[in-house]
Amino acid sequence: MVKTIEELRTELKETCEKTNTRYSGMEYLIKYYMDSLHWTEKESIEYALKLFHDGTIEQIRFIGKDGKEL
């Protein structure tokens, strides 16, 4: 089933809530993908969701601002 952008946004918001991740941070990342990589909004949101599903976001959350593991 092909999801609409609105459905993808809703899924991203729900995923952020479940994982205690700031949605504003994910919006920033999506904007980066769109502006710098020239991806569509749909591609950007799908990729951001993939980062949750493959564990990348969880790994990033355990790295402090100084680059050391928390």
pLDDT in tens, 2-44: 899 999 999 999 999 999 899 999 999 999 999 999 999 999 9
Q: Closest Cα partner for 49 from 6, 8, 5?
A: 8
d(CA 60, CA 10): 22
Residue 70 maps to a domain: no
> Residue 59's pLDDT is what?
79
Helix (H) or strand (E) holding 51: helix 41-53
Total domains in the chain come to 1
What is the span of the domain harbouring residue 22? 5-61
Residue 31 maps to a domain: yes
Residue 52 maps to a domain: yes
Question: What is the Cα Rg of the chain in Å?
Answer: 13
